[in-house]
Amino acid sequence: MSDGSSWVGATAKQISRAVRRGDVSATQVVADTIEQISISDPSLDAFRVIRAGEALSEAEKVDDQEDLANLPLAGVPVAVKENTAVAGLPTWGGSAAARQPVAERDHEVVRRLRGAGAVVVGVTRMPEMGLWAVTDDEDAPTRNPWDRDRTPGGSSGGSAAAVAAGLVPIAQGNDGLGSIRIPAACCGLVGLKPGRGVIPAELGIDDWFGLVENGVLTTTVADAALGFSVLAGRDPVRLVEPDKLRIGVSTRSPVVGIRPDEPNLGAVATAATFLTKAGHDTVIAEPRYPNALGLRVLATWFASAYRESQHLDVRKLQPRTRRHVRLGKWAWRVGLVKQAHRDAWREQSIKFFADREIDVLLTPALAAAPPPADSYSARSWRHNMSVSMRYAPYAAPWNVAGLPAIVVPVGTRPDGLPLGVQIVGPPDSELLLLSIAGQLEVANPWQRHAFG
């Protein structure tokens, strides 16, 4: 608990353990959460919808269950990203123009969260159609709890802001070109993007040609492991320290002309030092990012917007999105988006790990500080593209490859904003990534919340 009277700020594991033991009711935990959201969210705009009455009613049902001992998330308040169906709510897509009708049933990942005893307290904001690495809409920008003049990142920016502010211990997000890992880095959180096919990922409208994966944002590695196991439909496991690993280290940007700033370079050096002290070997291992990869990532990004727009009134979308859609229509029609291209990069990426004889790859999470919290929805397409690509170039290649990747906090910038690093692994290495993250957490603990 964050203090003696409220469960705000407690971890998911602390809450679920207390509810299972009978030390506190799920209803009390959710009541504390709803009260804190009502106090804190007006200055953050993390939530699109707060399910106050519904959440309290559902918490009471959790308390009435006889099998609490079998619920790994018993009574844990969670937030769900607004493009993920929650029964009884519209499935927002970052704006009124991108909103879908009221969902008749939960998305599978929401069903799994509820089945584990979690209580959905609300849905969190994202940029229109999840296209940008900043979160805002016509109402207001979502703000970073560490510095309300900065963005929490995107597209799962609302989820990250809610967790970093201590409003929920776990928030679901999804990651198409970095949309879990970028906000995790901006907000000092653990953010895991699983590999392809590990967690149900279909969003009902479009899954960005298979690039999108569902996952969680948390303040601790233990909560990340717990959330991952629930979403993956697995029994929770206790993380164990990995055997001696060979860790590749790379600071090369996938985007030509963009270099990480000194704080982000320092974060990689710090993480490498701690991992070496933990008994691992670290070696320089720079992936070769083909020029064609960048063009194909852009084409897929554009075409994803075009395909999703087929269900919407394009005239009502934001100007930045309309241009994205137009470019996507062109990219799709001239054949720039092909599964063979994505398969080739996946094969090259897997071969990279084998050829360099490395177990995982350590990179910066970001290239620069989180940009200002601004009304990006009213700015030009060119401005949005520049902002998103310049500060967050490191995540996208691993969506195309379908490989698991995690962001872990590593200290702070001189201005006090969090720093993070990204660790990428070969297929089926999610638990290994979590174990490495756990070693970093033990060696270099981070401040879990931006209270105040």
| CA pair distance 145, 240, nearest whole angstrom | 32
Residue 427, Cβ neighbours under 10 Å: how many?
Answer: 17
Residue 5 pLDDT exceeds 90: no
Name which of 39, 67, 74, 57 is nearest 121 in CA terms. Answer: 57
The whole-number pLDDT of residue 186 equals 98
Residue 77 pLDDT exceeds 70: yes
Cα distances (angstroms) measured from residue 156 to each of 17, 132, 161, 211: 28, 10, 9, 15
**What is the average pLDDT value for the chain, to the nearest integer?**
96
Residue of higher predicted confidence among 204 and 27: 27
Instruction: Let me know the angle formed at the C-alpha of 288 by 286 and 289, rounded to the nearest 5 degrees.
Output: 120
The whole-number pLDDT of residue 4 equals 53
What token pair was written down for 307?
A: 């395909």
User: Taking the C-alpha atoms of 308, 314, 318 and 321 in order, what is their torsion angle to the nearest 10 degrees?
Assistant: 40
Structural domains of the chain ordered from first start? 12-290+336-443 (3.90.1300.10)
pTM: 0.97
| CA pair distance 186, 179, nearest whole angstrom | 11
Catalytic residue set: 81, 155, 179
The whole-number average pLDDT for the span 15-30 is: 98
Instruction: Let me know the angle formed at the C-alpha of 222 by 220 and 224, rounded to the nearest 5 degrees.
Output: 70
- pLDDT band at 350, cuts 50/70/90? very high
What tens digit of pLDDT does each residue of 282-316 get? 999 999 999 999 999 999 999 999 999 998 999 99
Residue 3 pLDDT exceeds 60: no
The whole-number pLDDT of residue 72 equals 98
The whole-number pLDDT of residue 2 equals 44
Beta bridge partners, 174, equal 214
The whole-number average pLDDT for the span 347-357 is: 98
What tens digit of pLDDT does each residue of 383-395 get? 999 999 999 999 9
What is the SS3 assignment for 244?
coil
- pLDDT band at 203, cuts 50/70/90? low
The whole-number pLDDT of residue 202 equals 77
The whole-number pLDDT of residue 207 equals 78
What tens digit of pLDDT does each residue of 98-126 get? 999 999 999 999 999 999 999 999 999 99
